[in-house]
Amino acid sequence: MSDIAALEGDILAAIAAAGGEAALEAVRIAALGKSGSVSALLKTLAAMSPEERRQQGPRINGLKDRVGTAISARKAELGAAALDARLATETIDVTLPAREAPAEIGRIHPVSQVIDELTAIFADMGFAVAEGPDIETDDYNFTRLNFPADHPAREMHDTFFFNPKPDGSRLLLRTHTSPVQVRTMLAQKPPLRVIIPGRTYRCDSDQTHTPMFHQVEGLVIDKGSHLGHLKWILAEFCKAFFEVDDVKMRFRPSFFPFTEPSLEVDIQCRRDRGEVRFGEGEDWMEILGCGMVHPNVLRNCGLDPDEYQGFAWGLGIDRIAMLKYGMPDLRAFFEADARWLAHYGFRPLDLPTLAGGLSA
């Protein structure tokens, strides 16, 4: 075998053995670089006789060309292998569930969601939202609402009282949202149409009672407001809230110091293996108290009962939230257990609207 053939064999073997681009480059420099083996052969052409050069020229140049071609081919091969290896490490499993962004992990408490739902329903009927403080005076919580002093109804409310002030008066945690009726009538001129969602407090605790709970009060005052309006509003509310086409309601006579007449309202339901369904069935469930605002209350709030009349209602928010969303234990509402909230809570962007569906 000639020297050239032996050199070619060595170089091609080195090219084939180059495991990476750097190794291949070293082989190229050793062969075709300035002081490479092939370049050295090319230089020998200059000293040859024309006869010899005619013979050796094509052989050496052929060698140079084949080495160059082999290097390019190997380079392409190594490039493709490197790309394949990179792609193999960068594969994305598109079937994996999307990871939630931290801002999307938070949940809206069912009570907040239900307050948003109520507000959407009543806002659609033209109601504004009114608010008052959790710490109330005895006057607003009881006296102006026509609870006579020492009346047993004050005890019925299991009130949390603060220590008496030097003048003998004592503040309390409001036992219902009704004092905000008083505040609204004192602050605004009729016609009034407000709902009053908020926290209320009573010294009571079991599976369906917690010392802090939520009510939504409604108040309408105008010259011609009557029980028919009240019944229509409550029926529309129940249908919208429970998302049923029809709901039967039953009004029973009752007593509240601040309304006359006073009524309690039951809605038709079916109790089925621990579940309650509305808009069907033969059972009844009490959901709220209501009535025509007592003339004494109007008077206590600076309104003339001969000119104005109105109606009001009070409804337990936690209870209707439990019914609507199948949450069996009220106490869990206020235990701040993140697992409970992850299960029963609502996504922050699921804003209830009548157009979009309340709980869709």
Neighbouring CB atoms inside 10 A of 201's CB total: 21
53's CB contacts (< 8 A; 6+ apart) are: 45
Nearest distance, CB of residue 269 and ligand DAH, angstroms: 20
Nearest distance, CB of residue 313 and ligand DAH, angstroms: 5
Nearest distance, CB of residue 145 and ligand DAH, angstroms: 8
φ, ψ for residue 208, nearest 5 deg = -115, 5
How far out from the chain centre does Cα 73 lie? Answer: 58
Nearest distance, CB of residue 312 and ligand DAH, angstroms: 3
φ, ψ for residue 293, nearest 5 deg = -60, 130
295-310: b (≥16 Cβ within 10 Å) or e: bbbbebbebeeeebbb
- Which residue is it, tokens 């140079």? 64
Closer residue to ligand DAH (CB): 198 or 289: 289
Out of 259, 268, 300, 309, point to the residue binding ligand DAH (CB under 6 A).
259
Q: What Cα–Cα distance (Å) separates residue 183 from each residue in 49, 67, 180? A: 120, 98, 5
Closer residue to ligand DAH (CB): 196 or 358: 196
Closer residue to ligand DAH (CB): 107 or 214: 214
341's CB contacts (< 8 A; 6+ apart) are: 107, 109
Q: Annotate each residue in 75-94 with x if it binds ligand DAH (CB under 6 A) or - if it does not, as one string.
A: --------------------
Encoded tokens for 158: 């299991």
Q: Is 159 in the site for ligand DAH (CB under 6 A)?
A: no
Nearest distance, CB of residue 318 and ligand DAH, angstroms: 13
Residues contacting ligand DAH: total by CB under 6 A: 11
Q: Annotate each residue in 237-256 with x if it binds ligand DAH (CB under 6 A) or - if it does not, as one string.
A: -------------------x
Closer residue to ligand DAH (CB): 247 or 315: 315
Closer residue to ligand DAH (CB): 154 or 176: 176
Residue 254 and residue 289 in contact, taking contact as beta carbons nearer than 8 Å: yes
Round to whole Å and give the CA distance between 177 and 141.
8
**Within 174-193, which residues bind ligand DAH (CB under 6 A)?**
176, 178
Nearest distance, CB of residue 218 and ligand DAH, angstroms: 7
Nearest distance, CB of residue 129 and ligand DAH, angstroms: 16
Nearest distance, CB of residue 233 and ligand DAH, angstroms: 13
**Within 209-238, which residues bind ligand DAH (CB under 6 A)?**
217
197's CB contacts (< 8 A; 6+ apart) are: 115, 118, 119, 129, 177, 214, 215, 216, 217, 317
**Within 282-341, which residues bind ligand DAH (CB under 6 A)?**
289-291, 312-314
- Residues, the chain: 360
Q: Which residue is nearest to ligand DAH (CB)?
A: 314
Residue 160 and residue 203 in contact, taking contact as beta carbons nearer than 8 Å: yes
Closer residue to ligand DAH (CB): 255 or 325: 255
Encoded tokens for 113: 């969601």
- Which residue is it, tokens 């409310």? 157
Nearest distance, CB of residue 178 and ligand DAH, angstroms: 4
Interface residues toward ligand DAH, by CB under 6 A: 176, 178, 217, 256, 259, 289-291, 312-314
